Amino acid sequence: MVKGGDVTGPGNTPSIYDQGLDKGPANYAPLSPIGFLERAAGIYPEKTAIIHGDMRFTYREFYDRARRLASALSAHGIGYGDTVSIMAFNVPPVLEAHYGVPMIGAVLNTLNIRLDAEAIAFILDHAETKVLITDREFSNTIKKALEQSNAKPLVIDIDDPLCDGGELLGEMSYETFIALGDPEFGWLPPEDEWQAISLNYTSGTTGNPKGVVYHHRGAYLSAMGNALVFGVSSQSVFLWTVPMFHCNGWTFPWALTAVGGTHVCLRRVDPALIFPAIQAHGVSHMCGAPIVLTMLIHSPEAANVKLNHTVELATGGSAPPSAVISAMEAIGFRITHLYGLTEVYGPATFCAWQDSWDALPRDAQTTRMARQGVIYPMVQGMKVGDPDTLEPAPADGETVGEIFLRGNSIMSGYLKNLDATERALKGGWFHSGDLAVRHPDGYIEIKDRSKDIIISGGENISSIEVEEILYRHPDIMEAAVVAKPDEKWGESPCAFVTLRPGLDQLSSDDVIGWCRENMAHYKCPKKVVFGELPKTSTGKIQKFILRDRALEA
Amino acid sequence: MVKGGDVTGPGNTPSIYDQGLDKGPANYAPLSPIGFLERAAGIYPEKTAIIHGDMRFTYREFYDRARRLASALSAHGIGYGDTVSIMAFNVPPVLEAHYGVPMIGAVLNTLNIRLDAEAIAFILDHAETKVLITDREFSNTIKKALEQSNAKPLVIDIDDPLCDGGELLGEMSYETFIALGDPEFGWLPPEDEWQAISLNYTSGTTGNPKGVVYHHRGAYLSAMGNALVFGVSSQSVFLWTVPMFHCNGWTFPWALTAVGGTHVCLRRVDPALIFPAIQAHGVSHMCGAPIVLTMLIHSPEAANVKLNHTVELATGGSAPPSAVISAMEAIGFRITHLYGLTEVYGPATFCAWQDSWDALPRDAQTTRMARQGVIYPMVQGMKVGDPDTLEPAPADGETVGEIFLRGNSIMSGYLKNLDATERALKGGWFHSGDLAVRHPDGYIEIKDRSKDIIISGGENISSIEVEEILYRHPDIMEAAVVAKPDEKWGESPCAFVTLRPGLDQLSSDDVIGWCRENMAHYKCPKKVVFGELPKTSTGKIQKFILRDRALEA
């Protein structure tokens, strides 16, 4: 057998293929998702592209409105490298902004609607926002933010007929603004596919948020990857349960348009709206954090629901507890588990189903499905390894390491934050900060965020593993486990649980007993606190607040 | 309304997004389809990747064999920019070569198996072939070609157990060769995504064939586009009815591997093999020229076949006649019509189904389906326009123009043929040489190759339009119409027809009468010739031969 002899790297002598075969306008175009809308409008001009309440926009109208927006922004002096921020629910203007803003070389900054005025003001300043498009429902926060901010953006109000609160703050309404624009506006694709397309601030649990910059190439490739992995087509009807301000809606404003599917907008994630929308519009695909699944299952509506068609539901952000997967599938959803972060355009791995799992008992199946899985097609590489040396850990299902990712769907960096960018991309890999094991089958499974691991008596305890046991208790709706300082053990697990509505019979001892029946005793919570859990604006449980509370618990 | 004000192009002043957000190994990787196999082997190591007769290779084995091939080639001094030619049916070594060859920076040249020794010798010389991998079935042709050629490649024999003819010509068998290679060979992705990955010679009806060069970026994007448009997934089972030497099998050696589907190999396109393979392996997807469809319909096997599951069949190369679509769908196939050329990595447009067609009568549906349609997601633009000025023709369904394409799935050019490359890519668009109309709905419909149009009394007659009428005759299996010099009209249509097996009652007058009943009289053939039609190695009817015959008819 020939050993060694690996391919030689740089310095290949030019060959016959290096002559007269150059790039040119015929055979090279910078990758950009903007063209997806032009193409969809060309192929499906009269097809319903967007549903919002009683409103319907065809693909022709969607494209016209995006071009009007681009034209109106351009007429106001906005262009290359300018930031356009938008504060809104999942309404049509946000979809339109995913095209209209980059059409003029500007950068779309979707704001997290749950942020307070101070955080918004910080972002407007940091992003040097030139235009702020804002839904009237957020006028209180935005008014304060604008007072605090040094940026003095042009303010445009989304005056959504489905909203009756708030006030109008800006120069004019969004509809008036785009009515001034040209629906035939001659936009240009980016000259360089590395050009920035969007800016997404992390919901950082401490310190100032960091501005994650996406480029056209990455947005195009992520959208193609999402379309392929989630299996969307022109027949797909996508319900907007994942916020578009979260990693640009996991790139689906682009991915679904690439295939010519139908977007169903939604002002809020409310089971009383979601179940009827699924039936009324024949929703085929939706996404959301596990908290959305939990909310759907425990809603009064769920008791009577049995969907008349299968709805593909991709979930990520944290692992869906087995009990949640089972309950959702019983109603008629099919769950795909994705994993990603803002820094990697949303999903980067998915838990690919294996034929061999067909024969497993249901419990074993849902346990497998809770793994973060394997890489997306547009991800170049993933490893689980030492946080400092990046040395890969063995794929033994036990050795915990940090998840590293590399490839074309990794951010270009953090805006105006070279130090953080260098730290995040050090050694040629993106450092996720998530701790995982790699199973012998290659699937990764997250054990914790690096800062969420509990070290008790020198042993690492995965807070997620304890939470998984808690979620299996029939009376527990939500659970989070954090470290509490412990004189003897250094740290010990402290559990925060929310009971299902109407149930309040469970005691601390019951909960601890349940854990002791189901896992190693050293991993069991020593303390249990009942009540609602604090969440970030994207629905993630805020463990840093719980850690503070644990100090006093 | 704001008019004008289009986006300014070059010369944008640097913005905050132009600082500290650079490419690096973490967030940039050259696009290449080679990684699809590494990924599939990581996710589905034990899944059947390749079926060939009684042979089965898992994805782990597929990847190991590809790396062994790369390693063995490298050990023989093959590397960057070297051409590796392969002459074979759709057997596993060709799939492996789609990965093993580019893994070392070499270029894969799949030879058209129907070429004669002279043409093969020309290609071996022109491509400067360093290694020739050849199936024993072609030993006669290859032996002669090697005698005529100045290239003295290393010759490796594919000694397929499913072949018992021919002789072994080379230094060793393919299996012996790759057994010498290292299954853990450390291959490297290309440093530049523009690097050549494959070389496909056009089957040029006249003159020497031209060598079309594909690059890694285009192969990656075309494969992703094909996977998306044809809807393949890890559940897909792909029957290899389209030759892998034809535009690299329309990029499916890469596309199907990207999703982890199963490849079913096939030594020849024979209905007696195809129908049983569909049932035995649960084939879900296959591709082929319309001639394959015609062959399937008219085979004795078809009479008794009713598939127990729908098989997606993508066809292209020429428009499928309506009657053929209907007959295929009656058996259980679902037809998608694609259009493309070697120069654009195979498919570049597809006839997207419109919801509004659901309500049309069957005839109107199949007429629509015979249109070449709309662009793939990875195609940047298409227009139908003046062959010289490139001025777009109106989308009126009547004005004929040449089809122009541009985007990332256009060849880098013709190898060692700068003149032809410049002509083909002139004006920033690829000149297809196909003449089409654009319908008001944006769909294109090919009327003819530029050289196949018949000009009679100053009127253009589309040979395809006449053929479509001929195909509708129940006794006609195949038809081709070419120009015959005519003293009065300049040219007149001359029809060549093959009758369905066992039928020989039809006269010239019957055929002409049928045409006169169904179309404008000036378009009807003046002469009808019965018999078999000459075909190119890819199953295309050779009209240049028919034009010669028409001179004497």
First and final CA of chain B: distance in angstroms? Answer: 64
What does the pLDDT look like over A482-515, one tens digit per residue? 999 888 887 899 999 999 888 878 899 999 999 9
Can you give the pLDDT at residue B5? 42
- The verdict on B31 touching A (C-beta cutoff 8 Å) is yes
Superfamily of domain B453-552: ANL, C-terminal domain (3.30.300.30)
- The verdict on B11 touching A (C-beta cutoff 8 Å) is no
- The verdict on B439 touching A (C-beta cutoff 8 Å) is no
- The verdict on A81 touching B (C-beta cutoff 8 Å) is yes
SS3 call for A134: strand
Q: Which residue of B has its CA nearest to A412?
A: B21
- The verdict on B251 touching A (C-beta cutoff 8 Å) is no
- The verdict on B416 touching A (C-beta cutoff 8 Å) is yes
Is the per-residue pLDDT at A170 higher than 60?
A: yes
Is the per-residue pLDDT at A450 higher than 90?
A: no
Q: Which residue of B has its CA nearest to A9?
A: B188
Q: What is the dihedral of CA B423, B424, B429, B434, to 10 degrees?
A: 120
* Nearest CB partner across the interface for B81, out of A18, A28, A81: A18
* Nearest CB partner across the interface for B16, out of A14, A194, A416: A416
- The verdict on A153 touching B (C-beta cutoff 8 Å) is no
Is the per-residue pLDDT at A318 higher than 80?
A: no
- The verdict on A194 touching B (C-beta cutoff 8 Å) is yes
Output A140-148 pairs: Cβ under 8 A, ≥24 positions apart.
Answer: A140/A166, A141/A87, A141/A115, A141/A116, A141/A117, A142/A87, A142/A117, A142/A169, A143/A117, A143/A169, A144/A117, A145/A117, A145/A118, A145/A120, A145/A121, A146/A121, A147/A117, A147/A121, A148/A117, A148/A118, A148/A121
What does the pLDDT look like over A355-399, one tens digit per residue? 999 999 988 998 899 899 999 999 999 999 999 999 999 999 999
- Decide: A511 and A450 in contact? Cβ < 8 Å: no
The nearest CA of chain A is from the CA of B377 a distance in Å of: 7
Count CA within 13 A, CB hemisphere, residue B338. 24
Tokens 């793939």 locate to B376
- Match domain A44-189 to its CATH number in 1.10.1060.10, 3.30.413.10, 3.40.50.980, 3.30.2350.10: 3.40.50.980
Q: Answer yes or no: do B7 and A75 touch at CB < 8 A.
A: no
Q: Which residues of chain A have a CB within 8 Å of the CB of B427?
A: 26
Q: Answer yes or no: do A8 and B79 touch at CB < 8 A.
A: yes
Q: How many CB pairs under 8 A join A and B?
A: 264
Q: Answer yes or no: do B406 and A442 touch at CB < 8 A.
A: no
> What does the alpha-carbon distance between residue A318 and residue B519 come to, in Å, rounded to a whole number?
65
- Candidates B1, B3, B7: best to mutate against A (most CBs of A within 10 A) is B7
Q: Answer yes or no: do B410 and A26 touch at CB < 8 A.
A: yes
* Nearest CB partner across the interface for B228, out of A228, A374, A375: A228
| Residues contacting B57, CB < 8 A, separation 6+ | B48, B49, B50, B65, B92
Q: How many residues does chain B have?
A: 553
- The verdict on B258 touching A (C-beta cutoff 8 Å) is yes
> What does the alpha-carbon distance between residue B253 and residue B95 come to, in Å, rounded to a whole number?
6
* Contact map slice: A 445-464 vs B, CB within 8 A: none
- The verdict on B350 touching A (C-beta cutoff 8 Å) is no
* Listed residue (B325, B386, B328, B331) closest to B351, CA to CA: B325
Q: Answer yes or no: do A15 and B81 touch at CB < 8 A.
A: yes
- The verdict on A416 touching B (C-beta cutoff 8 Å) is yes
Strand order in the sheet with A379-385: A379-385, A401-407, A430-438, A444-449
The nearest CA of chain A is from the CA of B129 a distance in Å of: 11
Task: Give Cα A216 to chain centroid, integer Å.
Answer: 18
The nearest CA of chain A is from the CA of B151 a distance in Å of: 15
SS3 call for A98: helix
* Nearest CB partner across the interface for A180, out of B2, B215, B375: B2
- Decide: A328 and A336 in contact? Cβ < 8 Å: no
| DSSP letter string, A493-523 | EEEEEEEPTT-----HHHHHHHHHHHS-GGG
> What does the alpha-carbon distance between residue A220 and residue A111 come to, in Å, rounded to a whole number?
21
Q: What is the DSSP letter of B89?
A: S
Q: Answer yes or no: do B20 and A103 touch at CB < 8 A.
A: no
Q: Which residues of chain B have a CB within 8 Å of the CB of A440?
A: none
Can you give the pLDDT at residue B6? 46
Q: Which residues of chain B have a CB within 8 Å of the CB of A25?
A: 406, 428-429
Q: Which residue of B has its CA nearest to A107?
A: B17
User: Which phi and psi angles does A269 have, rounded to 5°?
Assistant: -80, 90
Exposed (0-12), middle (13-18) or buried (19+): which is A406, by Cβ within 10 Å? buried
- The verdict on A20 touching B (C-beta cutoff 8 Å) is yes
pLDDT band, very low/low/confident/very high, at A319 (cuts 50, 70, 90): confident
Q: Which residues of chain B have a CB within 8 Å of the CB of A186?
A: 6-7
The nearest CA of chain A is from the CA of B297 a distance in Å of: 29
Can you give the pLDDT at residue A4? 39
Q: Answer yes or no: do B39 and A411 touch at CB < 8 A.
A: no
Q: What is the DSSP letter of A13?
A: P
- Decide: A402 and A384 in contact? Cβ < 8 Å: yes
Can you give the pLDDT at residue A233? 95
Determine if residue A442 is left, alpha or beta; phi over 0 gives left, psi from -120 to 50 gives alpha, anything else beta: left
Q: How many residues does chain A have?
A: 553
- The verdict on A304 touching B (C-beta cutoff 8 Å) is no
User: Which phi and psi angles does B311 have, rounded to 5°?
Assistant: -110, 125
Determine if residue B142 is left, alpha or beta; phi over 0 gives left, psi from -120 to 50 gives alpha, anything else beta: alpha
Distances (CA, A) of B535 to A24, B115, B252: 35, 12, 24
Q: Which residues of chain B have a CB within 8 Å of the CB of A336?
A: none
Note down pLDDT in tens along chain B; length 553 residues: 344 344 444 457 889 999 999 999 999 999 999 999 999 999 999 999 999 999 999 999 999 999 999 999 999 999 999 999 999 999 999 999 999 999 999 999 999 998 889 999 999 999 999 999 999 999 999 999 999 999 999 999 999 999 988 999 999 999 999 999 999 999 999 999 999 999 999 865 456 789 999 999 999 999 999 999 999 999 999 999 999 999 999 999 999 999 999 999 999 899 999 999 999 999 999 998 888 898 898 888 877 778 889 999 999 877 788 888 889 999 999 999 999 999 999 999 999 999 999 999 988 998 899 899 999 998 999 999 999 999 999 999 999 999 999 999 999 999 999 999 999 999 999 999 999 999 999 999 998 777 788 888 777 788 888 898 898 898 898 999 999 988 888 789 999 999 988 887 889 999 999 999 988 888 899 999 999 999 876 677 888 889 989 988 8
Q: Answer yes or no: do A186 and B42 touch at CB < 8 A.
A: no
- The verdict on B75 touching A (C-beta cutoff 8 Å) is yes
- Candidates A3, A23, A27, A224: best to mutate against B (most CBs of B within 10 A) is A27
Distances (CA, A) of A541 to A12, A182, A532: 52, 44, 10
What does the pLDDT look like over B395-452, one tens digit per residue? 999 999 999 999 999 999 999 999 999 999 999 999 999 999 999 999 999 987 777 8
| DSSP letter string, A270-295 | -HHHHHHHHHHHT--EEEE-HHHHHH
Q: Which residues of chain A have a CB within 8 Å of the CB of B228?
A: 224, 227-228, 258-259
Can you give the pLDDT at residue A440? 95
A150: how many CB neighbours lie within 10 A of its CB? 8
Between vectors from CA B472 to CA B470 and to CA B475, what angle results, nearest 5°? 80
Q: Which residue of B has its CA nearest to A187?
A: B7
Radius of gyration of chain B (CA): 24
> What does the alpha-carbon distance between residue B253 and residue B86 come to, in Å, rounded to a whole number?
15
What does the pLDDT look like over B138-156, one tens digit per residue? 999 999 999 999 999 999 9
| Residues contacting A121, CB < 8 A, separation 6+ | A144, A145, A146, A147, A148, A149
- Candidates A6, A7, A80, A379: best to mutate against B (most CBs of B within 10 A) is A7
Q: Answer yes or no: do A188 and B6 touch at CB < 8 A.
A: yes
In this predicted complex, what is the ipTM? 0.88
Most confident of A291-295, A320-324, B18-22, B203-207: B18-22
The 3-state secondary structure of B472-522, one letter per residue? CCCCEEEEEEEEEEECCCEEEEEEEEEECCCCCCCCHHHHHHHHHHHCCHH
- Decide: B309 and B280 in contact? Cβ < 8 Å: no
Q: Answer yes or no: do B352 and A22 touch at CB < 8 A.
A: no
SS3 call for B288: strand
> What does the alpha-carbon distance between residue A518 and residue A524 come to, in Å, rounded to a whole number?
9
Question: Which run of H or of E encompasses A530?
Answer: strand A527-530
Per-residue pLDDT, averaged over A330-345, amounts to 94
Q: Which residues of chain A have a CB within 8 Å of the CB of B16?
A: 81, 83, 128, 415-416
The 3-state secondary structure of A328-373, one letter per residue? HHHHCEEEEEEEEEHHHCEEEEECCCCHHHHHCCHHHHHHHHCCCE
The nearest CA of chain A is from the CA of B471 a distance in Å of: 29
Q: Answer yes or no: do A412 and B107 touch at CB < 8 A.
A: no
> What does the alpha-carbon distance between residue B494 and residue B485 come to, in Å, rounded to a whole number?
9
Can you give the pLDDT at residue A496? 95
Task: Give Cα B83 to chain centroid, integer Å.
Answer: 21
- The verdict on B228 touching A (C-beta cutoff 8 Å) is yes
Task: Note the helical H segments in B104-215.
Answer: 117-127, 139-148, 174-179
The nearest CA of chain B is from the CA of A14 a distance in Å of: 7
* Listed residue (B107, B170, B180, B106) closest to B138, CA to CA: B170
Can you give the pLDDT at residue A457? 75
Instruction: Enter the pTM of the model.
Output: 0.88
Count CA within 13 A, CB hemisphere, residue A495. 32
B544: how many CB neighbours lie within 10 A of its CB? 13
Can you give the pLDDT at residue A349? 96
- Decide: B131 and B70 in contact? Cβ < 8 Å: no
Can you give the pLDDT at residue A10? 46
SS3 call for A550: helix
Taking each helix axis from N to C end, the angle separating B322-331 and B362-369, rounded to the nearest 10 degrees, works out to 110
Between vectors from CA B216 to CA B214 and to CA B218, what angle results, nearest 5°? 65
Q: Which two tokens stand for residue A119?
A: 């955080």
- The domain locations on chain B are 453-552
pLDDT band, very low/low/confident/very high, at A455 (cuts 50, 70, 90): confident
Q: Answer yes or no: do B182 and A375 touch at CB < 8 A.
A: no
